[in-house]
Amino acid sequence: MRVGVPTEIKDHEDRVGLVPSSVAELVHHGHEVLVQKGAGDAAGLTDDQYVAAGARIAADADEIFRACDMVVKVKEPLAPERKKLRPGQVLFTYLHLAPDPEQTRELMQSGATAIAYETVTSPSGGLPLLTPMSEIAGRLAPQVGARYLERTSGGRGVLLGGVPGVPPADVVVLGGGVSGTHAATIALGMGAIVTVVDRSAEVLRRIAVQLPDARTIFSTRDALKEVVRRADLLIGAVLVPGAAAPKLVTREMVKSMKPASVIVDIAIDQGGCCETSKPTSHSHPVYVEEGVTHFCVTNMPGAVARTSTFALNNATLPFVLALADKGWRKAIAEDPHLRNGLNIHAGKVTCRPVAEALGLPYTAPDSLPA
Catalytic residues: 96, 269
Q: Give 14-54 as a 3 state SS string.
A: CCCCCCHHHHHHHHHCCCEEEEECCCCHHHCCCHHHHHHHC
Q: Where are the alpha helices (DSSP H) in the chain?
A: 20-28, 47-53, 61-67, 79-82, 101-110, 131-149, 178-189, 201-210, 221-230, 251-255, 305-326, 328-334, 336-339, 352-358
From residue 8, give the alpha-carbon distance in Å to each of 14, 36, 69, 319, 356. Answer: 7, 10, 18, 20, 29
Helix, strand, or coil (residue 264): strand
Listed residue (335, 362, 257, 320) closest to 22, CA to CA: 320
Listed residue (126, 93, 114) closest to 350, CA to CA: 114
